Every structure is written in C-alpha cells, then in structure tokens.
Amino acid sequence: MTEHASSEAQPHLGARFAGQVALITGASRGIGLGIAKRLQAEGATVVLTARKPEALAEAVAQFPEGTALAIAGKSDDPEHRAEVYDTIAEKFGRLDVLVTNVGINPVYGPLIDLDLDAARKILDVNVIGTLAWVQEAVHHEKLGFRENRGRVVSISSVASQVPSPGISFYGISKAAVSHLTKSLAVELGPDIRVNAVAPAVVKTNFATALYEGKEEEVASSYPAKRLGTPGDIAGAVAYLASSDADWITAQVLTADGGVVTAGGKA
C-alpha cells in the first residue's frame, strides 16, 4: 500500500495559534504527539504530558527550543493534574487549548468475561480523567481558560459508534467521552467550545493489535483504502481548536476514512 504522502507533512501552515498555549495529554507518541506537533507548527506553545519521563523527554526534544514543555505523570492522578496547571500558570499565565488524548485499553476480549477491576480503571482514566482535566482547567484561577475563550478537544473513537468485538468496553468508555463532550459544550458555552474527534484505526503503537500483519486486509474495508495516521487526527483537532471553527461546538467529528458509513467497525 502506498503511504498517503501528505498525512504527516505540514507545509505552508499559518499561525492560527500564535501567542496561545495548548496542553495535550498522552503526548509522548502517536496521536497525542502528532497533535502537539501540529499545534506548535501553527504557532502554539505546547505542554505535553505522559506517564513515562524518558519517552516524554524524547518527544519534547523533537520540538524547536522553547516551544514545548514536558510534565510527566499519570493522567488520573489529581496531584499530577494540579502540578500541570500550576506550572502552566506560573510559566505562561494562560491556557487556550486543552486536548484530552489519554486513553487506555488494558484488556481484549468479550464483555461477558471482562475483569471488572479493569473496567473500572478504563472508566477512571478515559472518562473521569477527561472530565477532571476540563473541570480543573475551568476552575483554575490563574489560567484564564474561560476568559481566553478556551477550546477543549477530546479524543473519542469510532468504537463508541458501533460494536467492536474485543474492545467493546473501550468503546463504551469512548461513547461516554462523546456524550460528555456534548454535555460540557452545553454547560460551558458560549465562552468555551467543546468538541471531540472519533478516529478509526490509526497507525500507532496503541492500535498495533488491530492491524499488525494484516494492514492491507483491514484497510480494504475503508473507502479511503488506507488506515489513519497521527497527522490525519492532528489536522482535525487543529481545525476544531482554531478560530475557523468558532461556530462549532458539541460535535464529535468522525475521522475514519469512511469505514463506519461503509458498514465497517474499529
């Protein structure tokens, strides 16, 4: 299969985020790192979080000096979130864009055999964690998130839209993220816009089990005839977070190469 030549390229980008500060969670690799690179390329100063300090340091080293900051920690840890927001307030004095990308799926198999402790952990990180990041951004007195007409973009999944055997509970958690997006948008408007992007299979380490060794077969069910890349999702997030989408809120943008409409699944 021929790789989509422009999916990761960022030529002739404007400066839609000049002077703005963006926080991207789960950004040491994959979709999160792709989003951070796109927002920085359009002028933002980016703050990246992830669990592993070494991987996060490697990610930040890929950015021009002074344009990216790394803060390692667990997304579902209240102390980590407080550290992140306090650091942003101290160093930059503002937050304009929040991208909640962190998501876990530690189990694979039928719902009927799902370990309930694993289910609780998935909900805690994917759903409660998403809500907590937004709550704390809005309530932080020194970030000015509401005053800056902040934008939230969360990462959902097409697994939230159609049953996806093997990753069903992950899909259930992402369905909650999609509904959370709409509910928050209603509550926080008109000052803060809240949207989400729902990808199908994107070529990252996180999704390897869904396509490794069978990429051609998996992609054949996509009208676009290829799987997604982090750059594809980054472009969608950048649009929703930009002034080009000022009249768009409470939406879940499906970025799936057409597979759901064609009757496929994640």
- The residues carrying an active-site annotation are 170
**Contact present, 151 and 249 (Cβ < 8 Å):** no
Q: Which amino acid is located at 242 in the chain? A: S
- If phi > 0 it is left, if psi is from -120 to 50 it is alpha, else beta; for residue 138 that is alpha
DSSP H or E run through 235 = helix 230-241
Q: Which amino acid is located at 204 in the chain? A: T
98-110 CB burial, b ≥16 within 10 A, e <16: bbbbbbbbebeee
Token duo for residue 116: 């309930």
Neighbours of 95 (CB within 10 A): 24
Q: Which amino acid is located at 33 in the chain? A: L
Sheet containing 21-24: give its strands across: 68-72, 45-50, 21-24, 97-100, 151-155, 193-199, 252-255
Token duo for residue 53: 């300090």
228-261 CB burial, b ≥16 within 10 A, e <16: bbbbbbbbbbbbbbbeebeeebbbbbbbbbebbe
Q: How far is CA 127 from the centre of its chain?
A: 13
